[in-house]
Amino acid sequence: MTIPETKLVCRNVWKLFGADATSFLANHDGKPDAASIAEAGLVGAVRQVDLDVREGEIFVIMGLSGSGKSTLVRLMSRLIEPTGGDILFKGENLLAASHARMIEIRRHQMGMVFQHFALLPHLTVLDNVAFPLDIQGMNRAQRQARAREMIELVGLGGKESAFPRQLSGGQQQRVGIARSLAVEPEIWFLDEPFSALDPLIRREMQDEFMRLQTVLRKTIVFITHDFDEAIRLADRIAIMKDGEIVQAGTPEDIVLTPATSYVAEFTRNVARAKVVRTQSLMGPPAGHQPGEPTVSSRINIAEAAPLFVDGVTHLAVVDEQGKLIGRLDRDAVVDMMLKG
């Protein structure tokens, strides 16, 4: 297996809002506790954050309102300055980049979608999507061709000449997505992109987003306050509380071994069978019988369960190379399904 490249790294990143925050941080050896921050009248919006976002993954930052998600994502693109720490994008120290260099990086290598995505009301869908390419200096024919391609990709083919006011909320968000993808970003920041949509449309957009990701394989930082959304979309999740990351891991790690009671509270109502993979529930391969149905080690228990038909009691679990690595017992599956 090839190890994916790390695209973006945060090392010991802090953002304290309030007067003299930089000297306050220095005077506390670069690691003040929450009580000292509050006592000094500062807000510890992001505290001591370490994370790495890998090539081609969906990295979800999940936390309740005020936990520091938006501040953290703004720090990653240096829309705001950290009080301390380092941010590396493709190995480049963003904090050492000039203003002009930052604009260039944001324009050509970063894509952003926000909850209240401001489309330009007087421009058609086509011109809205082509807009960032115009800023990049691309010629008209090229940018229109690229914009049409993106509009098709997000399922809005035929709406090129519509104006934003003629579209539903979900369709407008698709235009926003097409617009941010038009520049072919190396990293894609999505800050609560579906939160303003009603639940049915929201789910549809999540499905659509997953479909897009199987095609595009973008490196994505996705912000949400919704744990179910995080579990559905994430390759890895970082859970934030009061500016800190309290746990980071795969959805499976988080559901099976929550690091704190705070995290456990989120995982309580999650259907484990939809998160846990066959490889985590299987036993050793010994006893394997020829003719047992085969499943991938990467699919989840809910997906594997329907194979237990016609008296099948065991499934053979195979890795990505098709090698037998374990056996999944029907009783263990039934047990997990019943426990919800």
Ligand X SMILES: Nc1ncnc2c1ncn2[C@@H]1O[C@H](COP(=O)(O)OP(=O)(O)OP(=O)(O)O)[C@@H](O)[C@H]1O
Binder among 32, 68, 84, 85 for ligand X (CB under 6 A): 68
Smallest distance, ligand X to C-beta of residue 240, A: 7
Residue 69 interacts with ligand X (CB under 6 A)?
yes
Give the integer Cα–Cα distance in Å for 160 and 214.
24
Question: Backbone phi, then psi, for 331, in 5-degree steps?
Answer: -60, -40
Strands laid side by side in the 314-318 sheet: 294-296, 314-318, 324-329
How many Cα atoms are found within 13 Å in the side-chain-facing hemisphere of 302?
A: 10
Nearest to ligand X of 79, 167 (CB atom) = 79
Residue 225 interacts with ligand X (CB under 6 A)?
yes
Residue count at the site for ligand X (CB under 6 A)? 12
Residue 71 interacts with ligand X (CB under 6 A)?
yes
Contact 305, 281 (CB under 8 A): no
Segment interacting with ligand X (CB under 6 A) among 61-69, 159-167, 252-260, 330-338: 61-69
Smallest distance, ligand X to C-beta of residue 191, A: 8
Residue 45 interacts with ligand X (CB under 6 A)?
yes
* Contact flags string 200-219 toward ligand X, x per CB under 6 A: --------------------
Give the integer Cα–Cα distance in Å for 58 and 236.
7
Binder among 3, 35, 65, 100 for ligand X (CB under 6 A): 65
Residue 77 interacts with ligand X (CB under 6 A)?
no
> At 119, which amino acid appears?
L
Segment interacting with ligand X (CB under 6 A) among 65-73, 160-168, 172-180, 213-221: 65-73
From the list 75, 82, 88, 61, the residue with the least C-alpha distance to 15 is 82
Q: State the DSSP code for 270.
A: S
Residues 11 to 40 in contact with ligand X, rule: CB under 6 A? 17
Question: Backbone phi, then psi, for 126, in 5-degree steps?
Answer: -60, -45
Question: Backbone phi, then psi, for 227, in 5-degree steps?
Answer: -65, -40
Positions in the binding site for ligand X (CB under 6 A): 17, 43, 45, 63, 65-71, 225
